[in-house]
Amino acid sequence: MSRPRKESGRTVTAEEIKAVARRQMSEHGTAGLSLRAIARELGITAPAIYNYFPRLEDLITTLIVDAFTALAVAMETAGAEARTEGAGLWETFTRITRAYRAWAVAHPTDFQLIYGNPIPGYHAPTDLTGPLAQRPFAQLFDLLQAGWRSGQISLPEEYQPVPPALAGHIRAYRTKSGLDLPEVLICVLLSGWARIHGQVMLELFHHSQPFIGDPGLFYELELSAYLRRLGLPPPG
């Protein structure tokens, strides 16, 4: 019954486990991650991981949380950089949204983990992922709010008037979140998120390449079209 403990201190940290999990995920896809494979790579037996993550689900959940915050951080630093450089509304908005796609392209499996269907029976706890999903865009809300207050942004007429039923919901959200924006602008921002998200999704699954070749270029066009429609003057 001798148990060859490799070294005395072969205690693994939760961070190591997550790192290996992320790497394996990026190599074999979101669903191609296994406790046993992780343990193998760490020189550990599989049940040992249970000390850190009682279930595989829990590991996945923390991976999702990490990914969400990583995306948010990427966008927030992009925004912070723009602000410190004294960039204008156009440039700031562009950099932030650019960071969205850049992060997705750089970490496709994490992005799919967040915005796709990750693992067999797994369903993310929406009460946990909900706020996380909104965080990356909080800053865009602020940006639009500032732009609208300063009169730089005009409200596209094609979104007006917002149908009453929809406006009711939006007002509920607005009072709950403390935002002070007209319903139209919230609609326009949400439309912007969907546009961006849709493009990234189509790109990640290679649906847009046949049409436009370079999705990055088309993404830029879409961003600029969006901002121009808000009445912002293109730079340069």
DSSP 164: H
Answer for which of 4, 86, 120, 178 binds its own copies (CB under 8 A) is 120
Of 43 and 213, the one with the shorter C-beta distance to its own copies is 213
47 lies in the site for DNA, by CB under 7 A: yes
Exposure of 88 by Cβ count < 10 A (0-12 exposed, 13-18 middle, 19+ buried)?
A: middle
Exposure of 223 by Cβ count < 10 A (0-12 exposed, 13-18 middle, 19+ buried)?
A: buried
Answer for which of 4, 86, 151, 163 binds its own copies (CB under 8 A) is 163
The position carrying tokens 């912007």 is 192
In whole angstroms, the minimum distance from the beta carbon of 209 to its own copies comes to 9
| Binding track over 21-40 against its own copies, x by CB under 8 A | -------xxxxx--------
48 lies in the site for DNA, by CB under 7 A: yes
Answer for which of 112, 139, 147, 185 binds its own copies (CB under 8 A) is 112
Site for its own copies, residues 176 to 215, rule: CB under 8 A: 186-187, 190-191, 193-199, 201-202, 205-208, 210-214
Other CB atoms closer than 10 Å to residue 194's CB: what's the count? 10
User: How open is the CA angle 164-195-187, to the nearest 5 degrees?
Assistant: 20
10 lies in the site for DNA, by CB under 7 A: yes
Contacts of 112 (CB under 8 A, 6+ apart): 30, 118, 204
Site residues (vs DNA, CB under 7 A): 1-5, 8-12, 33-37, 39-40, 43-48, 50-52, 54-57
